[in-house]
Amino acid sequence: MKKTIFTVSLGVLLGAGCAHLPLPEVTVAPELPDTFHFPLVKPEHENMQRLLVNAMGYVNPKHGLVDPVSGYPVEGWNQDSERGLYLRSFTQLTAIGEWVELLANIAAGYADNPYISREEALGKLELAVSSLLTDQADPKVSAKGLLGNFLGFEAAGRMGPLSEEVEKQKFVDAFGEEQAGLIWDALVARKWIVPQQDGSFAKIPRKGEYGDKFFTGELAPFAESNTCAKIMAVLDVRVVQIIFGDNANLTASAAKTFGALRHSTLKDDPAAVQLCEKLEQFIARQEEGYRYLYDAKPGSFVFGWNATKDRFTGWEDSNGKWIVGHMDYFVNEFRGPLLFVVQRFDLPPDAVKNAGFKTKPYRMADGRDLYTLATWHGSSFQSLGLSLFMQELDAPGWRENLENSVDIELDFSTRHKLPGFLSEAYSGNGVEYTGDIGIPDVAVTDHPRITNAPSLYTLGVAYSIAPDKIEAFLAANRKKIEQLFTDHGPWEGYNTTRNETVQFQTAAHTLALILGGIGSAEENMQRYLTWLGVTSLSKVQGGESGAVDLLGGGTQWISWSPTGDSLEGLHWCGGSRIRGEAVRNGAVTVKLPQAKGVSLSNGALLIRYRAANPLKTVITLNSGPRVFENQIFVRFDVTDAEKEIRIPMPGTPGLENVKELVIRFGDERAPVPVDLTISGFEFVPAQ
């Protein structure tokens, strides 16, 4: 059997060990055959029905997209050695979780199809869940109950990925100081390794001619078989790389799988009952790992842990100090799973509270500004997640944020003629897989965004938020979207610059499209939480909040500038006027009279104003120290008549105990005039 190679990098997915499989001819889905049934999708929504019918082709056993030994899905469809794509040689935890979740949904009657019967789904689920329990106990691929984020397939079992870096000392230990130096220099010259920081370790790109067959050029002096084998043994060390987010995705999927098996059609089925017991056993065994990943000092989870090297995931700074990365930004695809993990294992709510967020405005085609939570890359995947299951749509603040996100995606895609949403995906530029695809206005990063490569997979979860709007979008783009259809489901997306389909397909994205579209995640999770005895999510979504008048009696408005700018503030009960001629760095602090602060969780912040000049400001909500401050980027237009801004506020403990708001004005590079009258500034809680 050929040696399998793959790395933990999302950008380059490498492997070997599976023969090249030709792609079948593209075929369009049939006209809504009656062998498919999605009970939570509106019958009149023909276009969503058609999209789901085509996507379900991915689970057809004839395509061989499930490893027969473990029952896990492979990483994706593409298997092309000439392009360096080996997606059938390994899998990832998110895809495994989605797969078991889909099987349980099929068994419960949420996704009837001609490929896997309800009874067969239970059998396939038994194999996958049993493999999870086996791998959870295998130190080659797991530690403290948590699994490595990528798993390779071998006849004898699963294996971890190859390390992405190597220490120079390992060569010294194997070859001695002098020869190790020669080998290291040759590896650098051959571009097999890229030294980092002080040169004590190097990254291993594993691109192009890599491996024991390519000891040529600078490596020719070391081609002798024993020396070659020793070098490759140092380079190709497999590791157990634990990533919090991937494990949290799997944990949440396991709970939703449990919930689907508690459906009225299944809850008394002996096979379903036994599967629930195994799933809960798997979930319970993860507690040790999650407690280990929780860092009490900053009050957040570490991003990951290399269990092989016993080192938390991070990076070296310019002084060679190792900086540990944390889950300290709130708005990403792991938001729902983070909430669930904290709730399920009764972990400190600080893990949620200390994750900061930024809210940004987006100008719609009709001139309105819609505000929503900004994601790091402007990606719809990070905004909407893979599915919604933590009662977000029952919380008005969350619902409005999510509805605004969908409206923004629809507006941008419609204006730019994109047959899909901008999200992390294959871009159509060679084999590039990137998170840099997104809408610039709702991104935290100011780096350029890729805006010509829409994909389909987040349309599933978007449908659960705004079904009629998504159906209309699918109808308007039906011709182009159906160019992506094949008998194994839709391709990744469409590159509008080249006017061609992006012919890649991953399990995680295809399964996310299906699961989001069938819309059962919330009720499945609710069954699990009910079984667990959880009656309130206030721990992770914040408690009740009341109305707050930020212009009311006792509130202090204090104008100031750290650089001495002249910023005048006149405050009275019911209003405030802020003026300055050339403001570079001015601010107004709004101090609240409540000693413990107020809750601005789960509602909306309303600002009524008049402005003589266009202004961009940032409002910081101070409720305690965190790496990323909770901030709202506000845009004031020139207007004589009073105008209102509405900013939805998510439900989170991070918005409790807000003691002051700091409104910052100005531009260091180009001072601006300020003349702003605020006649209303209030928080309206959920009704």
Q: pLDDT digits over 570-583, tens only? A: 888 789 999 999 99
Q: Which band of pLDDT confidence, cut at 50, 70 and 90, is reported for residue 335?
A: very high
How far apart CA 397 and CA 649 sit, in angstroms, is 5
Q: Please tell us whether the domain made up of 548-685 is placed in CATH 2.60.120.430.
A: yes
Across residues 561-575, what is the average pLDDT?
A: 86
Q: Please tell us whether the domain made up of 46-160+241-530 is placed in CATH 1.50.10.140.
A: yes
Name the residue among 194, 215, 220 with its Cα closest to residue 206. 194
Distance of CA 458 to the CA centre of its chain: 11
Q: Which residues contact 366 (CB under 8 A, 6 or more apart)?
A: none
How far apart CA 323 and CA 312 sit, in angstroms, is 9
Dihedrals phi, psi of 223, to nearest 5 degrees: -80, -10
Query: What tokens appear for 538 in the block?
Result: 């206030």
In sequence order, what DSSP letters do the residues of 534-574 get, joined into one string?
----HHHH------EETTSTT-EEEEE-TT----EEEEETT
Q: Convert the pLDDT of each residue in 12-28 to its tens digit.
A: 333 333 333 334 444 44
Place of tokens 């409104």: 663
Name the residue among 74, 86, 98, 70 with its Cα closest to residue 21. 86
Assess whether pLDDT exceeds 60 at residue 83: yes
**Residue 647: in which H helix or E strand, if any?**
strand 639-649
- Residue 76's CB is within 10 A of a number of other CB atoms, namely 26
Residue 532: the pLDDT is 97
The structure's pTM equals: 0.91
Name the residue among 6, 163, 155 with its Cα closest to residue 76. 6
Q: Which residues contact 368 (CB under 8 A, 6 or more apart)?
A: none
Alpha helices in 262-390 (DSSP H): 270-284, 287-293, 335-344, 350-353, 380-384
In sequence order, what DSSP letters do the residues of 202-244 get, joined into one string?
EE----SS-SGGG--GGGGGG-SHHHHHHHHHHH--B--EEEH
Average pLDDT, the chain: 92
CA angle at residue 425 from 446 to 32, to 5 degrees? 135
Q: Which band of pLDDT confidence, cut at 50, 70 and 90, is reported for residue 674?
A: very high
Q: Which residues contact 227 (CB under 8 A, 6 or more apart)?
A: none
With contact defined as beta carbons under 8 Å apart, do 344 and 251 qualify? yes
For the chain, which residues make up each domain, given as ranges? 46-160+241-530, 165-235, 548-685
How far apart CA 103 and CA 257 sit, in angstroms, is 8
Q: Which band of pLDDT confidence, cut at 50, 70 and 90, is reported for residue 34?
A: confident
With contact defined as beta carbons under 8 Å apart, do 382 and 333 qualify? yes
